[in-house]
């Protein structure tokens, strides 16, 4: 009997939770959504979306290498993402400080080299990668309890690490000069964050697929930053948006049999479009109010806006 979406949400949730594979998918999706939302929020602040995109493509050579040596594909995901992060950091000289032009060049070079390496591994393998469509576009049918535990371990390590270095990392992200003046080891933090980003990308790609990893890594974070510049509120909003996208996407995929990667990506895009429209509307109202009666309200009184640098929120303490 095929699942049928009804007007009774309680019944629909009971249907979802009656199957172990859906429970595994929801658990894994929740773990990945929280981790991706936090890491993605920092990635957007640091303007390292290109690095995140490059690391997401590492699942192709990683999976090909894993298939070649006969180990689970997840091993290839994690190892190649971390190694690529370290290569980018070394090539860009991040230990000495960020240079966006040098970082961009190193990232593009790693991306091209990794894709070529993946093709070589695939040729040496001589076969067809198992579940190639899943590798590219994601799936939730094959998630096992062991994978859920692995994702939980990775997510806990990532989030605990970010909690420890969160304040200096954020300060270094928005104002490197001030961070150095306060004794922050900017170079070491830059390298460490790239490694964390690699782990998050490898974990997220197992749910969304390599080509759609940005659905959870960028869209919720970018949507949150469209709506608020407050750090705590922005992070909480990013996590909430990522969870909504993941849960609704998995639920709709179960009931409609549509690809989960497509649904999650579409919902994430709609979220970002709605957040951008809301910010544009609020900005238009604010300009109209100033033209008619001058500044009013808490935002106008303080001169703050959602688009102001986050450095004000970090550097004050």
Cβ atoms < 10 Å from Cβ of 72: 13
- From first to last of its 317 residues, the chain has per-residue pLDDT tens of 567 677 777 887 888 888 888 898 899 889 989 999 999 999 998 888 888 888 888 878 888 888 888 888 788 888 999 999 999 888 877 766 667 778 888 889 998 988 898 888 878 876 665 555 666 666 666 788 888 898 899 899 999 989 988 888 888 888 888 888 888 888 888 888 999 998 888 887 776 677 677 788 889 999 999 999 898 899 999 999 999 999 999 888 888 888 787 888 899 999 999 999 998 888 777 777 666 655 544 444 334 444 444 555 555 54
Could you tell me if residue 300 is inside a domain? no
- Alpha-helix residue ranges (DSSP H) falling in 127-259: 132-137, 145-174, 176-181, 186-208, 214-217, 219-227, 231-256
> Structurally, how many domains does the chain consist of?
1
pLDDT (0 to 100) of residue 292? 64
Could you tell me if residue 83 is inside a domain? yes
Distance CA 210, CA 148 (A): 18
Range of the domain at 174: 23-210
232 Cβ neighbours under 8 A, 6+ residues apart: none
Could you tell me if residue 42 is inside a domain? yes
**Token pair recorded at residue 39:** 């890491």
Could you tell me if residue 292 is inside a domain? no
Could you tell me if residue 302 is inside a domain? no
**CATH code for the domain in which residue 198 is found:** 1.10.3470.10
Could you tell me if residue 245 is inside a domain? no
Could you tell me if residue 129 is inside a domain? yes
Q: Answer whether 201's CB lies under 8 Å from 213's CB.
A: yes
Q: Count helices and strands (H / E) in the chain.
A: 16, 0
Calculate Rg over the CA atoms of the chain: 21
């Amino acid at each position: 009997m095929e699942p049928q979406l009804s007007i009774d949400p309680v019944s629909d949730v009971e249907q979802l939770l009656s199957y172990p594979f859906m429970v595994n998918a929801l658990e894994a999706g929740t773990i990945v959504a929280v981790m991706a939302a936090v890491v993605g929020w920092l990635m957007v602040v640091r303007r390292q979306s290109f690095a995140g995109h490059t690391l997401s493509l590492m699942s192709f050579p990683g999976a090909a290498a894993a298939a070649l040596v006969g180990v689970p594909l997840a091993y290839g995901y994690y190892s190649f993402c971390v190694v690529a992060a370290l290569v980018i950091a070394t090539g860009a000289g991040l230990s000495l400080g960020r240079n966006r032009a040098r970082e961009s060049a190193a990232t593009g070079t790693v991306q091209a080299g990794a894709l070529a390496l993946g093709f070589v591994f695939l040729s040496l393998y001589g076969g067809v990668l198992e579940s190639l469509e899943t590798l590219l576009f994601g799936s939730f049918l094959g998630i096992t309890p062991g994978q859920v535990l692995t994702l939980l371990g990775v997510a806990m390590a990532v989030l605990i690490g970010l909690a420890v270095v969160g304040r200096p990392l954020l300060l270094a992200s928005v104002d490197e000069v001030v961070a150095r003046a306060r004794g922050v080891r900017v170079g070491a933090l830059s390298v460490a964050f790239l490694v964390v980003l690699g782990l998050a990308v490898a974990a997220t790609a197992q749910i969304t697929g390599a080509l759609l990893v940005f659905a959870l890594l960028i869209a919720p974070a970018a949507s949150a930053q469209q709506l608020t510049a407050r750090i705590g509120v922005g992070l909480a909003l990013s996590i909430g948006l990522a969870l909504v996208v993941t849960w609704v996407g998995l639920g709709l995929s179960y009931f409609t049999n549509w690809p989960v990667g497509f649904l999650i990506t579409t919902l994430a895009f709609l979220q970002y479009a709605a957040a951008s429209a809301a910010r544009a509307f609020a900005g238009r109202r604010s300009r109209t109010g100033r033209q008619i009666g001058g500044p009013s309200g808490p935002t106008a009184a303080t001169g703050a806006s959602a688009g102001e640098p986050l450095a004000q929120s970090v550097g004050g303490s």
